[in-house]
């Protein structure tokens, strides 16, 4: 007998399994996002240096990560490293590595952009009232940089979260893979399950990323000057 698609969701522990998958997705994305923010901030600061060597190196790194599809990067790290050097990273670790490499590049460029967008006059006005370089950064430059940066960084976070769906392809069992397993298991009894499961996954992603987007929009409006 063919069941109603929606029932599949509530059969056995399907829903908790999906949520568990979501947890893996979130774990990988948030870990990568946190690392990207720290490393990207450092990279962004280095990118503003006038030194031709650092300039060239960071540019190559940034362009490489921007142009290379994330999926290719995942395959390179997951399969390539094993083949070439015998380094055996688990799917989850590979995912964190790839998304951190990519996120660091994107974040670095955002930080660089925010830093150079502060006009020279702001540095001079701060200096002119007798602030040391450190005080100037602490009270004048960094607060303004953060205001420009945070909405952009939040948008990057949502992009990273949804792009982690790709890691299915290196065998990590996250939310999408769990969904596929449930669909497979019910292929004969409930052929319409796919629509319901994918629909549910859509909403899981949506409700994860939407609040973050709203937050970004709010901050942007609050801080526009």
Partner 1 sequence: MLKENEPLLEIRHLRKNYDANDVLNDISLDICKGEVVVVVGPSGCGKSTLLRCINGLEPIQSGEILLDGLPITDGKKKWSEIRQKIGMVFQSYDLFPHMTVLDNIILGPTKVQGRKREAAAKSAEKLLERIGLLDKKDAYPRQLSGGQKQRVAIVRALVMEPAIMLFDEVTAALDPEMVREVLDVMLELARSGSTMLIVTHEMQFAKAVANRVIFMDGGEIVESSSPEEFFLQPKTDRARRFLNIFNFEK
Which parts of this chain interact with partner 1 (CB under 8 A)? 119, 121-122, 124-132, 135, 139-140, 143-144, 147, 223, 225
Query: Which CB atom, from 140 or from 170, has the smaller least distance to partner 1?
Result: 140
Q: To 10 degrees, what angle do helices 52-67 and 91-116 make?
A: 130
Query: Which CB atom, from 50 or from 83, has the smaller least distance to partner 1?
Result: 50
Q: Which of 164, 159, 165, 149 is nearest to 40 (CA)?
A: 149
Sign of CA dihedral 164, 168, 174, 180: positive
Q: How far is the CB of 148 from partner 1 (least distance, A)?
A: 10
DSSP 68: S
Query: Which CB atom, from 69 or from 130, has the smaller least distance to partner 1?
Result: 130
Query: Which CB atom, from 13 or from 132, has the smaller least distance to partner 1?
Result: 132
Give the helix/strand (H/E) hosting 11: none
- The residues, ordered by sequence, that sit 6+ positions from 17 with a Cβ below 8 Å of its Cβ are 178, 182
Q: How far is the CB of 139 from partner 1 (least distance, A)?
A: 6
Query: Which CB atom, from 173 or from 219, has the smaller least distance to partner 1?
Result: 219
- Residue 2's SS3 state is coil
Q: How far apart are CA 23 and CA 29, in angstroms?
A: 10
CA distances for 87 relative to 68, 73, 77, 83, 84, angstroms: 22, 15, 9, 8, 8
Q: How far is the CB of 122 from partner 1 (least distance, A)?
A: 6
Q: How far is the CB of 111 from partner 1 (least distance, A)?
A: 18
Residue 200 near residue 51 (C-beta atoms within 8 A) = no
Query: Which CB atom, from 12 or from 143, has the smaller least distance to partner 1?
Result: 143
Q: How far is the CB of 119 from partner 1 (least distance, A)?
A: 7
Q: How far is the CB of 38 from partner 1 (least distance, A)?
A: 23
């Amino acid at each position: 007998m063919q069941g109603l698609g929606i029932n599949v969701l509530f059969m056995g522990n399907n829903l908790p399994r999906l949520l568990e998958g979501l947890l893996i997705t979130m774990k990988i994305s948030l870990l990568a996002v946190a690392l990207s923010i720290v490393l990207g901030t450092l990279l962004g600061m280095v990118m503003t240096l006038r030194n031709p060597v650092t300039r060239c190196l960071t540019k190559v790194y940034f362009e490489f990560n921007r142009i290379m599809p994330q999926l290719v990067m995942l395959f390179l790290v997951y399969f390539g490293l094993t083949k070439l050097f015998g380094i055996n990273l688990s799917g989850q670790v590979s995912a964190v590595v790839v998304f951190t490499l990519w996120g660091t590049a994107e974040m670095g460029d955002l930080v660089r952009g925010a830093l150079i967008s502060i006009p020279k006059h702001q540095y001079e006005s701060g200096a002119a009232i007798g602030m040391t370089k450190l005080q100037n950064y602490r009270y004048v430059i960094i607060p303004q940089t953060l205001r420009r940066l945070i909405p952009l960084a939040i948008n990057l976070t949502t992009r990273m979260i949804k792009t982690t769906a790709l890691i299915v392809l290196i065998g990590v069992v996250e939310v999408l893979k769990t969904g596929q397993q449930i669909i497979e298991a019910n292929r004969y009894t409930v052929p319409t399950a796919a629509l319901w499961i994918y629909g549910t996954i859509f909403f899981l992603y949506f409700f994860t990323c939407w609040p973050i987007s709203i937050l970004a929009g709010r901050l942007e409006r609050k801080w526009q000057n």
